[in-house]
A and B are shown apart, each in its own frame.
Chain A
Amino acid sequence: NAGVTQTPKFQVLKTGQSMTLQCAQDMNHNSMYWYRQDPGMGLRLIYYSASEGTTDKGEVPNGYNVSRLNKREFSLRLESAAPSQTSVYFCASITSGGNNEQFFGPGTRLTVL
């Protein structure tokens, strides 16, 4: 039982390049989330998927797109990376609703030059 996995662990991009961050969970969780963590800001929600087939914007969605590929996988895409997107990205999942424990992936450290 791997929990929540994320790839890659580290990535360096040039401004304007695109990339997709991958996230998968093997706990049969319904809801999945993408957060970013910046120094002094705390974690902020980018997008979430309350259930398979649905996605919704969070607090800071600009510059990102997501795909809930199936119940296990939730990807985050940067179409044209900007230096302001330099951050650590965490994927998380829960069973259902907001009253359950959140399980976090190990994070992806992204630098945009």
Chain B
Amino acid sequence: KNEVEQSPQNLTAQEGEFITINCSYSVGISALHWLQQHPGGGIVSLFMLSSGKKKHGRLIATINIQEKHSSLHITASHPRDSAVYICAVPLSGGGADGLTFGKGTHLIIQP
């Protein structure tokens, strides 16, 4: 079973700061997912990536398959970015048998 570690668990920053959240996993995978969850809210998929880098607006996700490591970056952070960010990978490396998740990074952006 794949194991996922995220860091930091909690992060408080000022508006405008550059944010980095890290994720490492134990077993080779076909793709890694970054998810966002607002307080009391549902879960939204931000990225799914299997190599290199993806960018959506101010969010950038990178993955290094050899090192089994991914990072999520937020540029010019804003209070509306405050949420829990969750990294997830396939339970057994690939296939349709579901995801295993990190415990999440609770991000607070202060104005």
Contact = CB atoms under 8 A, between A and B. Distances in A.
Interface residues of A, number: 31
Given A42-B101, A42-B103, A102 B96 contact: no
Contact of A105 (B33, B42, B48, B103): B42
Contacts of B104: 42
A10 to B, nearest CB: 12
Interface residues of B, number: 28
Contacts, number: 80
Highest count of chain A CB atoms <10 Å: which of B30, B99, B100, B104:
B99
Given A42-B103, A102-B45, A48 B98 contact: yes
Interface of A: 30-31, 33, 35, 40-45, 48, 50-51, 56, 58-59, 90, 92, 94, 96-107
24 contacts: A31-B96, A41-B103, A42-B4, A42-B101, A43-B88, A45-B98, A48-B98, A51-B96, A58-B97, A58-B98, A59-B1, A90-B42, A90-B43, A92-B43, A96-B96, A98-B90, A98-B95, A100-B48, A101-B45, A103-B45, A104-B35, A104-B42, A104-B44, A106-B42
